[in-house]
Structure formats: structure tokens, C-alpha cells
Structure 1
């Protein structure tokens, strides 16, 4: 506050002069009076009788020129960094200060050019000067300084890797096993650098005795130690141990499947082969599960020769190669022993000749001594044929009985065969025909009578073929003699012999009896009427006329009821003759009867001629 004095204004009016107090308005303050720092306005007003108002304002300005008074500043201090941080958060007590203005002073701090108002700050590692500024609202100020020293007492953090290249397994978090490089007795091991951190943000590594990318020999344990420090000299270490082991299996090579043949007359064959085994360290042993003969020598690269005698069939020999670290690899040899020797057939039968079974076209149950067999496989194969002794059927002719034999390996022997010849020595059966089909007359006592063909001295005779059968069931050839069906057979009794012959040449006969009879009469042709006149000086008349007669056989005789006819006889099949005779006046019937020489009795036929003779009278001139 400040005490101020002033002269109050006196209001006047042009028309009324002085304005009475009652027409004035004044501030509460009267001179002298205390005023606060800053500006304070005092307003005076006056109003005349006409209502006009005048105003006067007095401004009181109080200026603060006194500095704040600080009774206590913060002291210098040393603190540790916050855990895991490169800073320390420090809260200090604000300075104690008063000011004549009676108002709160303004305090701010300047740290490394940064102005803050709160008494709290994150200080970096090391000393930091804090400038304290205290000012009042009028800008009066005082300043002082204190130092905050942050010390880093925290060790760096370091975490070693937990695996690496060639990693195989872990024994513990900081001990692990790596495997050797492929084909090598060492391991080239690389790993990530340890993970490090520090609250300061700055670290320094020390080089370990072994570096990432080094080669590490098998069978040795290596411990790698890393050391890290920060700028404040704080240190920390980590370590891990690498155990180099051989986990690479040996490389073993077996040959392709082997195929051998049995030795002659033996049931086994001998196979030979080579096993190659290599390892990056050493092949310590080579074992097999059979009885193969071989001599193994340990080493990096081994080649071992083996042989074994194996029976017919297949045998798998398994080989296991083991290195000095117990790693194993296996392979197999497949040995196939082929039996390529055919079995032997013993006691092959000789050829056999037999007759057909009576009434049959074959021979039944022919017997023979069946062969046996031996084989190098020690099997007892049985020869096999299409026919079995004592239970069979063989057709007429030659049949080859083939014995074949195979062993289990498929070897085949067909060297045994013999011929069974079935001969047909049985006659065929024949039954002569029972009738004929043309010109049949009748039958008596086995003799069949037939008639001659019309107009012919022979008979065309046909008959059913004879009935034949044969045990062979084959076609039987039938021949007839002296005539065959359909032949022209002359008049008379004939024996026809049928001969049946089978395919084997066996034959039998039967007789067939035919009698050819002529039952056809002659055919005469007489003129119906012959006219004549009496001979001169005679009561009779001589006439001639032609008669024809036809027959299938000779005409043996003819007869007439009239004498004195020429010719008196004929002996011809066909005859055309002129007959001459003397007939009395009037009508004379002449009967001609012709008889042929048919067997057994002649056939006859007649014809008639009427001869008419007329008298011829001549008158004598002496009458």
C-alpha cells in the first residue's frame, strides 16, 4: 500500500456558479488515503439545476520498487539415478520469500536453459546448476543457485544368448550343446551378441576369449565370458558354455539288391558285396544281423567286403554303422537267390498200345507207372499230367500224355511224354434195308419182289440205306455190291451184299435179296379189219396185213386161232411183220396171242383182226 494525497475538484456551473454538495457524487476515498499497488480511479460527478452532468476522474498510481525478500534457498544435493533410468527425479523445497506487495511471489527455475515453475525435475547423470528466480508482480526480482549432482550407482544389465548356430539342445540356460559342421570334426559357431542395457544408455564391451564365428573342436567344452561397463565405472558380466558334440550320423552305403543263382544241384548260392561307411569323426563299429563273413576296421572312411551263402529265396541283411559318439546309420542288402535249375523227372513210361473198351469209342482206365521227380531245392515236386493212370479215357488213335513239373521257383521240365495208342479192332454193326421205295411188288421169306420199269427189261430199284453203328461213333462207310440203290437191275433174283467199314478198317456185311419180275405184257397192234377178195378160180381169198408187237423183253412165242399163217413164230422185243393167209369168203376173226419170256411165267396179250373175203365172179363169154 502507499499513502497518496490529492486535491479534490471544485465543480462550477456557468449559470449557477458553485454546485452544492447535494448535487455532487464523490468517491469513498478522501485525501490522504492508502492505495494498493497499481492504478486506482477516483470519479467525481456534478449535476446543475438543468440536469446537466459533469465528470472528473483522478487516477492514483502506486509503483512497487521493492525486491522480494528470500529467507531460505534450496541447498546443493547429491542423489542417485532412478532405478533403470539415466536420470533422477528430484523434488526440492521452494524458497521461502515475502514481498511488500503482500501478494505471492513468483518463483521459477532455469535448468540448462529450460524454464520450469515446479520444484521438481528429472536431472541427468552428473552435476546440474539450478538457478532460482523470485519476482513480485511488479517485476522486482532476486536470484540464487544450487547444484544437483546425480550419481549412477547402477550396474549395467547384460544377458548372454541362450543358443547359437549348430544348436542341438540345452543342458541349462547358459550351457548348450552344438553339433559339428556337416562332414567336419568341429563346429563353426555363431551367436548373437549379448543383450545389454544401462540406465545411462552407454556401455562398453570387453572382447571375450572366443568370438562368434570361431571353430570349436568336437569333445571340448568352451566357456565364453562377456564383460560390460558404463561411463560411471559400473560393471557386469555374463557367460555361457558351448559343448561341442557329434550328432551327425555316419554315412553308410549298401549295394543295390543282389541276385545270384544256386550252385549246381544245390539249394543255395553265395553272394558277395561291399559296404562303405564314412563319418566326420570316426566309424567305430559296423554290425550286421546275419552270418555274413567280413572284417571291419574303424576309421573315417571304411570299405568292408562281405560274403554269405544264402538258401533259395530272399534274405535281407541289415547293417548298422556306429561312430565314436554313438550316432548310427543303417542300410540293408537284399539278397535274392534264384533257383534256375529245373527238376528232374524219373521213370517216364514207354509208349502204350491198348484196344478200345467194348462198345466204346475210347479206352477206359488205362494204367501205367507214374513218374516221380527230384529237385535241387530239396522240394519233392509231383509231376502233373492231363491224364491219371487208372482214371482216364483215351479216344481212338494216338494221345500224347505229357508230364510237366515245376518247382516253387517256376523252373519247368516237360521232358517226359509218351504215346497211348488206342486201336479200334471192333467191327461195325450193319442192318440191311427192310424195303425198297420203287417198283415194289411184295416180299416173301426175305425176298423182295420188284417190277421192271415200264418198257424196260430192268428195274430201277431204290432202298433205304442200311442202318449202321460203330463203337467209334464215327461215320461208317457202306458199299453195296453188285448194285447200289437207284441202279437198273435186270430181271432175276439178286443178292446185294452191303459192306460197312469203320475208320479203323474194321468191316462187317449183310445181304439184301431182290427179285426183279417182268409183269409187263407185250403190246400188240392189229388192224381192226382187213378186206380181200377171193383168189381167181378159188373160193378163198389170200390177204396180207401188218401186225406190230412191242415188249420190254423178248417175245417168246405167239399163237393164233387160224392156221396157215406166216410167220409162225417171233423172238424179238419189237416186231413189225407181215402176215399172209388164205381165208374163206365171209368174215373170219383171227386172234393173235403174244407171250414174252418173262420170269417166272410169260406175260401174254392178244389182239384181233377181222378178215372179210368177198367172192369175185367173172362171166364166161360162152354164157
Structure 2
């Protein structure tokens, strides 16, 4: 609303002229330039006029009635980005015209993983503007993908050992983020693996702690026989009895596995009868590998009248 004084007019008649302005003082003037014409009229119909303009400028910024809260999204499948679309904030202006609203980056942009600040500006037709901002937060919840994982490994123990040294190529994994992954295997390549089946789990982790596993097994077989040592030589005993206890020093058995079971057909100190008896020792490891050894015990019985001799063939 614009209010002004005057204008003032005089007349030769001595009477005050009637003065009117169009638009009148106290009118609500719109934005822009409005011409005002004031007319003075005396009582005899004589008229004179003057004019001026009223220039109303809009220096008031638009109002943003709503600005978005932070937008949360997950990456598009297989991509390091997410296309995020939102409704533009609503803006009003004292001019009555709808302001133009722009956001940077714009709705529909592919946003990278992480936080991106978006600023929206509202412009009216007179160069006034207002802005608000929010964040687009893109999470990577996608697990890495295995390109290759080692095949199952089957091998034999190293000679004389209960283990074998296994090396494999590190498995390969990729991730939608495009960032290099941390790949670890447990047990690790280059480990000494024991006899039997050991499961190996390989884990790929991206920088956002998404995890994927692959697994295989290492099967270490023991095909190495135990070793018997210290087998007794063949024994011959002259006896005056048909049965005689015989004792000997028992052999030893060793195995690369470290575990061996030693059994025998006869024990030291057993009673042996007339003739030849074969004594057999058997060493067996947990994998069923074995070694055997034998020796012969010959009992010769002597009496006053006759010597009985039993001869055995060589083994």
C-alpha cells in the first residue's frame, strides 16, 4: 500500500480545485511500475493534471514450504551407484508466481556410495532466491562375488612326515563397489596340512564389511607303510621237555603318522612245543598301511634214548 500527500492545486477563482489521483493514495500497488495521474478540476469544468509513477520492487526471497529429509538408498544391483528420485520441494513467493526450483545434483542422478549433499534453490522472477539442502546416503549392502575358488585338493603326505605342504592360487572375487577386496583363507595357502580332510574357508570382505565365503577341502592321504625294526633272528632251543618257554626282545614299530599299532601272533615268554613255530609281528597305522615281520622258533627235544630233530625250511 502506497500513501502520499497532495498534490496541491490552486485556481484563479479563489476556490480550491478538486484533486483526484488514479490510482488513489492508499492503493495496494503491484510489483512493477504503475503510472499515477492526478487531476485538478475547478468549479467551472477547467482541468489540469500531473503524473508520476510508483515502482514496487520485490526484494523478498521465496519460501520453501518443504525440504526433503535425507534420502537413504542401496546401490543398484552390481553397480557402485544408486539412482535416487525424489519429489522436488514446494516453494511459494509473495509475488504470487510459482518460483522455479532446481536441485544440484538433480533428482534421477546416479549417486555414488557414501554421502552426497544436495542443495535445492527456489528462484522467483525478480532475482530473489532461497535454498535448502539434504543428504543422499547410498549404502553398499551387496556381497562380493567369487570369480574363482580353489578345487578340492587331494594329495599324499610328504615322505616320513605326518603332513604335507599345500599351496594354491588365491581365489579371486569382485565387488560392485569397484574397490579391491580383502581375501583370506583359513587355513592359509602354504600351511602344513595333517592327515585326513581339512575344510578350508576363504572369505572376501569389501570396505563396507560385506562378506562372501567359498570353501573347499584338503584331503591328505597316508600311503606310507610303518617300519618294523629289530626283528629277532630265528631261534633254536634244545630242550628235555616237549614244551619250553621262549623269550626274546620285541621289535619296534614306527610310522610317519606318529601312531602305530603293533600286534604279534605270539608273545615273548610264551610256551612253545616241539617243532618249528613262526612268530609274526604286524604293524598297522590309522590309515591301514602295514608292515609285517616273522621269525622262527625251533624246539628240539633230547632224551636218553633218541634225539628228535625237526628241521624247518628257510623263511
TM-score of the two chains, using structure 1 as the length reference: 0.34
**Residue 181 of structure 2 corresponds to residue 381 of structure 1:** yes
Cα separation, 1, equivalents of 2:119 and 2:268: 91
Cα separation, 2, equivalents of 1:429 and 1:469: 5
Higher alpha-carbon Rg: 1
The answer (yes or no) to whether the contact 1:381–1:407 under 8 Å persists in 2 is yes
Report what 2:37 is aligned to: none
Cα separation, 1, equivalents of 2:255 and 2:66: 78
The answer (yes or no) to whether the contact 2:231–2:294 under 8 Å persists in 1 is no
Report what 1:479 is aligned to: 263
Correspondences of 1:563-574 after superposition (within 5 Å)? none
Cα separation, 1, equivalents of 2:251 and 2:261: 11
Report what 1:337 is aligned to: 138
Give the unaligned 5+ runs of structure 1.
1-216, 220-244, 293-305, 435-444, 520-555, 557-594, 601-623
The answer (yes or no) to whether the contact 1:339–1:409 under 8 Å persists in 2 is yes
The answer (yes or no) to whether the contact 1:499–1:510 under 8 Å persists in 2 is yes
Cα separation, 2, equivalents of 1:432 and 1:513: 15
Indicate the SS of the match to 2:186.
Answer: coil
The 3 A distance-change label for structure 1 pair 308 and 433 is same
Report what 1:164 is aligned to: none
The answer (yes or no) to whether the contact 1:498–1:510 under 8 Å persists in 2 is yes
The answer (yes or no) to whether the contact 1:491–1:515 under 8 Å persists in 2 is yes
Deviation at 1:266, TM superposition (A): 1.8
**Residue 249 of structure 2 corresponds to residue 447 of structure 1:** no
RMSD value, Cα: 4.2
Report what 2:75 is aligned to: 262
Cα separation, 2, equivalents of 1:330 and 1:461: 105
* Aligned length, in residue pairs: 252
Cα separation, 1, equivalents of 2:238 and 2:115: 90
Cα separation, 1, equivalents of 2:59 and 2:250: 107
Deviation at 1:447, TM superposition (A): 3.0
Cα separation, 2, equivalents of 1:412 and 1:331: 34
Cα separation, 1, equivalents of 2:239 and 2:84: 99
Correspondences of 1:396-545 after superposition (within 5 Å)? 396-414=195-213, 416-432=214-230, 447=235, 458-459=243-244, 466-473=251-258, 475-481=259-265, 483-485=266-268, 487-514=270-297
Cα separation, 2, equivalents of 1:268 and 1:448: 91
The answer (yes or no) to whether the contact 2:164–2:192 under 8 Å persists in 1 is yes
Give the unaligned 5+ runs of structure 2.
1-28, 32-57, 310-315
Cα separation, 1, equivalents of 2:121 and 2:93: 16
Report what 1:355 is aligned to: 156
**Residue 96 of structure 2 corresponds to residue 291 of structure 1:** no
TM-score of the two chains, using structure 2 as the length reference: 0.62
The answer (yes or no) to whether the contact 1:287–1:321 under 8 Å persists in 2 is yes
The 3 A distance-change label for structure 1 pair 450 and 314 is farther
